[in-house]
C-alpha cells in the first residue's frame, strides 16, 4: 500500500511479466507459455466481472519471473490473487469490422489484454465502419476478414488462440510461422513437395512451401535477425528462375467465378481498369474505395460471354470475396462463387518455361499464338489446363490452373520432362526476392486503402480517362489535379550485416521521410532491396526524389542507400513479354 500513482508501468518480456500501480498497490501479472482454454460450451449470460478460484501452481511460473526482476517483493504480502478470463487471437491482433457472413453485424473482440488501452481507438474505428462503411485509415491487420472459415471450428479457434497467448511476450522473430493445428489445408502436391524436403509455412490455413532443403539439410527455419539459414537455398531457387525454369505451387490462390448477364457491368463498376474485357484476356486491376484508395488488387479473365475467372492472394479470400460481392446490386443478375478448392495452380517461370511446356503440352506456346496477358485452354498429360500467361517474378512464364484431381499428373509430367530444361521446385521465399527485384507490390504491404494508384506507381493500370464510371473515379480525378505528397520507391544498399525486413526508417538528407513496407535480398542484382513510400507535404515528384541523399536506419545502424524509380530487374519488361 501507499505506492505513488505516478510509478511507471514495467514490462519484462524476458521473464514474461508486467508490473503496474493499481489503487495504491502493485499489480503484477504475466503471460503463460502453457495457458489454459476455458472449454465451456457457452458463456452464461450472467458471467461478467467474475473470477475463477485460485490455482496456485499456475501462478508459480509468473511469481518466479516477478521475483527474478524484483527480489524485494519476496517479503511483500499479497492482497488478492486474480484468476480470470482474457481473449486472445492467433496473431496477437484485434478482431474488428463487419462480419462477412452476416448483414449489419459488427465485431469488436480479441483485444489480447489491451482492451482498455485500445477502447477509444477501436470504438472510433467501429463507429466509422458502421456509419461510413470503413474506418478512416487501413486496419487490415485487425480486420475480421483476414481469417479463413476454419476459425469457425471451436477446436481450431482454441488451439490457435492458446498459441497466440503463449507467444504474447516471446521474441518476435522474422519469418515466424504459426504452429498450432497444422497441417490443415494441403494442396494435392503437398506429399510430393514434402518428399523433396520442402520447409512449409502457413497462410490462411494453407501449407505452402517456403524453400527446399538439399539432401543432408533439415528443412527447418532457424530464427535470426541476420542472414537466415535458408537464404542460400532460396537464392539458388531464385537464380534458377532467372536462368532456367522453376515450378512454384500456388494452389492456395483464392479463385472465384462471377457469372450472370450483368457480370461485366458489375466488374466495369468495381474495377478501375478499362471495361473492355475481351475473351480470354487476363487483366490486372485494382478495386478502389470511394476515396480512390486501393481496396484490393486481382486478375480477371473472361472465359465466356457471361463468366469471369478471378484470382487473388491466399490471405485475401474472404476479404476480396466481400469486396466484389458488396458491389453487386440487388437488381443485377450476377453471382459470385468461391471455387478455390476446384483448381490447383502450378506456376512455371523462367527463360526455359516455353520450351518445357511446349515439350509436354498440347498447345502452341509461341509468342505469336500465346502473347502476354492471354489465357488459353491446353492439355497436359490428359488434363485440361487453363494456362494464364502472367508473371509476378519478371520472367517469361505461365500459371497453370489445373482441376485439382489432375494436379499431381501434371506435376509429374512436367518433372518427367525436366532434365533437359533444368526444372526445379521453388518456394515463396524466392518468390518474394524475385518480386522485390521487379518492384512488384503486395496488397496489405505496399498497397492498401490508405494509398491511391498514383502514389503506388500503378496509375497506368487505371482507366481514369475512359468513358465509364467506376467506384473511386471521381476521387482520383480530384487527386490527379494536386501534387502527390508520397510516392512508392525502391531503395538498395550493399551492407551485408544490415538485413532489410520492412519497417526500417527512410532518411532523406538526414530527415525522416517514411519507412520501408517490405525488404529482402535481390540475388540477381546482389543488393539488399526495400520498397517504401517517401513523404513530403509540399509534394513528391521525380525532381524532389532524385535530388535527395538517402539512408536507411537498420537496427540503429545508418546505412547509405540508393533510390530507384524503375524496377531493378528488366525495367522495360522485355523478358516477361519475350
**Domain residue ranges of the chain, discontinuous segments joined by +:** 10-75, 95-166, 254-338+452-481, 343-421
Cβ-based neighbours of 160, under 8 Å, separated by 6 or more: 89, 90, 151, 178, 180, 181
pLDDT at 467: 80
CB–CB of 285/469 below 8 Å?
A: no
pLDDT at 24: 87
User: How many angstroms separate the CA atoms of 425 and 139, rounded?
Assistant: 35
pLDDT at 1: 62
Confidence of residue 85 (pLDDT cuts 50, 70, 90): confident
User: Per-residue DSSP letters for 411-467?
Assistant: HHHHHHT-TTTTEEE--HHHHHHHHHHHT---BTTTBSTTS-TTTTT-GGG--TTSS
Asked whether residue 118 carries a pLDDT value surpassing 80, the answer given is yes
pLDDT at 42: 65
What Rg do the C-alpha atoms of the chain give, in angstroms? 26
Fold of 343-421: Gyrase A; domain 2 (3.30.1360)
Confidence of residue 84 (pLDDT cuts 50, 70, 90): confident
User: How many angstroms separate the CA atoms of 88 and 467, rounded?
Assistant: 49
Closest CA to 457 of 563, 566, 544: 566
Confidence of residue 3 (pLDDT cuts 50, 70, 90): confident
Tell me the average pLDDT across 362-389: 97
User: How many angstroms separate the CA atoms of 12 and 3, rounded?
Assistant: 20
CB–CB of 534/508 below 8 Å?
A: yes
What are the backbone dihedrals phi and psi of residue 317, each rounded to the nearest 5 degrees, phi first? -55, -50
Q: Which residues of 90-109 are buried (b: 16+ CB within 10 A; e: fewer)?
A: bbbbbbbbbebeeeeeebbe
Tell me the average pLDDT across 527-540: 98
Tell me the average pLDDT across 23-51: 84
* pTM of the predicted model as reported, rounded to 2 decimal places: 0.95
Give the number of other Cβ atoms within 10 Å of residue 543's Cβ.
8
Residue for cell digits 470503413? Answer: 134
Tell me the average pLDDT across 216-237: 98
Tell me the average pLDDT across 333-344: 98
User: How many angstroms separate the CA atoms of 278 and 10, rounded?
Assistant: 62
SS3 assignment, position 44 = coil
pLDDT at 372: 98
Q: Which residues pair with 530 in a beta bridge?
A: 491, 519
Asked whether residue 369 carries a pLDDT value surpassing 90, the answer given is yes
Tell me the average pLDDT across 500-512: 98
Asked whether residue 563 carries a pLDDT value surpassing 70, the answer given is yes
Cβ-based neighbours of 410, under 8 Å, separated by 6 or more: 346, 380, 381, 383, 385, 400, 402
Quote the Cα angle for 180-186-191, to 5°.
110
User: How many angstroms separate the CA atoms of 385 and 281, rounded?
Assistant: 16
Lowest mean pLDDT across 34-38, 188-192, 248-252, 492-496: 34-38
CATH number given to 254-338+452-481 = 3.30.70.1400
Task: Encode pLDDT of 130-173 as tens digits.
Answer: 999 999 999 999 999 999 999 989 889 999 999 999 999 999 99
The x, y and z cell numbers of residue 534, run together, are 517517401
Confidence of residue 38 (pLDDT cuts 50, 70, 90): confident
Confidence of residue 459 (pLDDT cuts 50, 70, 90): very high
Lowest mean pLDDT across 22-36, 376-390, 526-540: 22-36
Q: What is the 3-state secondary structure (H, E, C) of 83-111?
A: CCCCCCCCCCCCEEEECCCCCCCEEEECC
Cβ-based neighbours of 107, under 8 Å, separated by 6 or more: 95, 96, 97, 98, 99, 144
Residue for cell digits 475463477? Answer: 52
CB–CB of 318/148 below 8 Å?
A: yes
Assess whether the region 254-338+452-481 and the region 343-421 belong to the same CATH fold.
Answer: no
The percentage of the chain sitting over the pLDDT mark of 70, rounded to a whole number, equals: 99
Asked whether residue 410 carries a pLDDT value surpassing 90, the answer given is yes
Lowest mean pLDDT across 176-180, 249-253, 400-404, 464-468: 464-468
Tell me the average pLDDT across 201-215: 98
pLDDT at 231: 98
Strands 361-362 and 375-380: antiparallel
Average confidence score pLDDT of the chain: 95
Closest CA to 447 of 462, 433, 434: 462
List the beta strands (DSSP E) in 204-306.
206-212, 245-249, 254-259, 282-288, 294-304
CB–CB of 145/95 below 8 Å?
A: no
Confidence of residue 6 (pLDDT cuts 50, 70, 90): confident
Asked whether residue 244 carries a pLDDT value surpassing 70, the answer given is yes
Amino acid at each position: 500500500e501507499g505506492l505513488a500513482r505516478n510509478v511507471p508501468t514495467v514490462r519484462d518480456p524476458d521473464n514474461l511479466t508486467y508490473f503496474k500501480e493499481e489503487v495504491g498497490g502493485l499489480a503484477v501479472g504475466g503471460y503463460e507459455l502453457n495457458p489454459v482454454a476455458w472449454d465451456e460450451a457457452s458463456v452464461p449470460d450472467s458471467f461478467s466481472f467474475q473470477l475463477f478460484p485460485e490455482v496456485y501452481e499456475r501462478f508459480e511460473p509468473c511469481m518466479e519471473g516477478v521475483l527474478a526482476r524484483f527480489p524485494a517483493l519476496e517479503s511483500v504480502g499479497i492482497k488478492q490473487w486474480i484468476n480470470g478470463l482474457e481473449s486472445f487471437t492467433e496473431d496477437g491482433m484485434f478482431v474488428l469490422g463487419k462480419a462477412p457472413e452476416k448483414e449489419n453485424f459488427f465485431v469488436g473482440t480479441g483485444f489480447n489484454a489491451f482492451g482498455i488501452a485500445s477502447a477509444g481507438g477501436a470504438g472510433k474505428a467501429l463507429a466509422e465502419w458502421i456509419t461510413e462503411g470503413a474506418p478512416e485509415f487501413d486496419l487490415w491487420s485487425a480486420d475480421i476478414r483476414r481469417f479463413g472459415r476454419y476459425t469457425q471450428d471451436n477446436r481450431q479457434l482454441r488451439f490457435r488462440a492458446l498459441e497466440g497467448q503463449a507467444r504474447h511476450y516471446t521474441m518476435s522473430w522474422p519469418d515466424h510461422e504459426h504452429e498450432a493445428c497444422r497441417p490443415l489445408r494441403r494442396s494435392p502436391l503437398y506429399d510430393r513437395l514434402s518428399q523433396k524436403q520442402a520447409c512449409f509455412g502457413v497462410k490462411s490455413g494453407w501449407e505452402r512451401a517456403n524453400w527446399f532443403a538439399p539432401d543432408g539439410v533439415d528443412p527447418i527455419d532457424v530464427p535470426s535477425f541476420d542472414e537466415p539459414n535458408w537464404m542460400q537455398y532460396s537464392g539458388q531457387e531464385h537464380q534458377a528462375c532467372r536462368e532456367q525454369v522453376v515450378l512454384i505451387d500456388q494452389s492456395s490462390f483464392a479463385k472465384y467465378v462471377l457469372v450472370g448477364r450483368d457480370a461485366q457491368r458489375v466488374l466495369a463498376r468495381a474495377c478501375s481498369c478499362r471495361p473492355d474485357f475481351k475473351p480470354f484476356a487476363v487483366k490486372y486491376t485494382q478495386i478502389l474505395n470511394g476515396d480512390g484508395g486501393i481496396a484490393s488488387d486481382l486478375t480477371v479473365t473472361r472465359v465466356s460471354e457471361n463468366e469471369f475467372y478471378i484470382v487473388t492472394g491466399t490471405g485475401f479470400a474472404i476479404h476480396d470475396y466481400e469486396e466484389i460481392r458488396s458491389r453487386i446490386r440487388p437488381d443485377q443478375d450476377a453471382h459470385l462463387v468461391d471455387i478455390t478448392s476446384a483448381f490447383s495452380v502450378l506456376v512455371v517461370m523462367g527463360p526455359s518455361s516455353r520450351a518445357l511446356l511446349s515439350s509436354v503440352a498440347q498447345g502452341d506456346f509461341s509468342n505469336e499464338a500465346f502473347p502476354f496477358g492471354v489465357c488459353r485452354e491446353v492439355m497436359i498429360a490428359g488434363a485440361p489446363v487453363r494456362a494464364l500467361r502472367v508473371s509476378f517474378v519478371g520472367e517469361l512464364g505461365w500459371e497453370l490452373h489445373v482441376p485439382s484431381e489432375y494436379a499431381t499428373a501434371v506435376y509429374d509430367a512436367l518433372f518427367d520432362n525436366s532434365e533437359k530444361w533444368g526444372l526445379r521446385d521453388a518456394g515463396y521465399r524466392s518468390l518474394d526476392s524475385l518480386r522485390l527485384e521487379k518492384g512488384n507490390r503486395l496488397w496489405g504491404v505496399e498497397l492498401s486503402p490508405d494509398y491511391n494508384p498514383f502514389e503506388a506507381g500503378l496509375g497506368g493500370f487505371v482507366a481514369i480517362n475512359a468513358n465509364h464510371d467506376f467506384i473511386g473515379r471521381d476521387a482520383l480525378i480530384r487527386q490527379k489535379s494536386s501534387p502527390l505528397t508520397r510516392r512508392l520507391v525502391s531503395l538498395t544498399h550493399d551492407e551485408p550485416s544490415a538485413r532489410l525486413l520492412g519497417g526500417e526508417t527512410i532518411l532523406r538528407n538526414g530527415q525522416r521521410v517514411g519507412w520501408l513496407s517490405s525488404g529482402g535480398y535481390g540475388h540477381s542484382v546482389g543488393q539488399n532491396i526495400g520498397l517504401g513510400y517517401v513523404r513530403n507535404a509540399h509534394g513528391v515528384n521525380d525532381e524532389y526524389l532524385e535530388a535527395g541523399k538517402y539512408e536507411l536506419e537498420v537496427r540503429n545502424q545508418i546505412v547509405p542507400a540508393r533510390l530507384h524509380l524503375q524496377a531493378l530487374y528488366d525495367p522495360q519488361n522485355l523478358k516477361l513479354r519475350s
